[in-house]
Amino acid sequence: MAYNITLILGDGIGPEVMTSTRKIIDATGVDINWEIVEAGATTVEAQGTPLPELVLNSMRNNKVALKGPITTPIGEGFKSVNVKIRQELNLFANIRPINSYDGINSIHKDVDFIIVRENTEDLYSGTEHMVGEDAAESIKIITRKASERICRYAFELCKTQRRKKVTLVHKANIMKLSDGLFLECGRKIAKEYKDIEFEEIIVDAMAMKLVQSPQHYDVIVAPNLYGDILSDLSAGLIGGLGLAPGANIGEDIAVFEPVHGSAPDITGKNLANPTSAILSGVMMLKYIGESQAAKKIEEALSNTFKDKHNRTVDLGGKLGTREFTMKVIENMQE
């Protein structure tokens, strides 16, 4: 079976890590027709926008996309390509698996949990305004529909992956209406899943507990802002953003992407670690039903990491992006 998949190379190191990922996926033998479209800094000058309608239409048509990092200006300009894509395509669930690897120098071993982050509202809805010249207001939007949808997704994910516990993160002790509604929805959905343990933890306590004992968690569900912050904190537990994949899932469209930035300082230097992008590609393969190909890549990555000389420089190794890619393909073939 052939798959039509949108490929966005992105900015900075994006083309390097996405080319690496494409080569590795192609080496599995899965038949993919990559529809390459441009978004980000490269299209601003030519088309006046970092997100041309052509890109959105490609993702709507193909239903699956693999996307590189895209730079978001700080404090001015286009708000966020990532947020715009999620809102336009209604990609309501951001999924961040957090897994430690043998041989990688990380704070914790045996880490294996998933963060499920609501993706469409909260403070990230971008509803904000100035109040005179000396104050700014951002509006935190939490709705029952979105909260129940993301909580049910978390429980279904827990069920399908045969995990045992869902942990809901909130700050309802302070934000009694907005976070209170999210918590209420989580409690309601939990009653539908009698076989899955449910717990609720205040977000600041959750940050501490993740640093102390991340092995205690299976699936963590959170509103947009908390999920974003805890996702990066969790990546730090296993060796950094370079090892953390991500996916944005909607009702019938899914976009997979590395969670790190575009790293313009190392662009074109063959120094980028493509692991986050590769693992995002693994998530994509599982999503389209190519589990055997996904497993082949996961095993090859794990075997590659075991030899410290076969890692990229940021992980204490000696290999560049291209050399690391070839080593992973070599281990797949073995």
Of 102, 109, 164, 204, which residue is the catalytic one? Answer: 204
- Return the DSSP state at 250: -
How far is 194 from 64, CA to CA, in rounded Å?
A: 33
- Please tell me which residue in 63, 84, 171, 327 is annotated as part of the active site: 171
The answer to whether 66 and 281 have CB atoms below 8 angstroms apart is yes
Q: Could you give the angle at the alpha carbon of 98 between the alpha carbons of 92 and 104, nearest 5°? A: 150
Q: Smallest Cα–Cα separation from 111: which of 96, 133, 93, 95?
A: 96
DSSP string, 121-185: -BGGG--EEESTTS-EEE--B--HHHHHHHHHHHHHHHHHTT--EEEEEE-TTTSTTHHHHHHHH
Which run of H or of E encompasses 61? helix 53-62
Q: Which position among 124, 153, 217, 226 bears the catalytic label?
A: 124
- Give Dmax (Cα) for the chain: 65
- To the query of whether residue 228 is one of the catalytic residues in this protein, the response is yes
- Which of the residues 11, 122, 218, 228 is marked catalytic? 228
Mark whether 195 is an active-site residue.
no
At position 259, the amino acid (one-letter code) is V
171 catalytic, yes or no? yes
Residues assigned a catalytic role: 124, 171, 204, 228
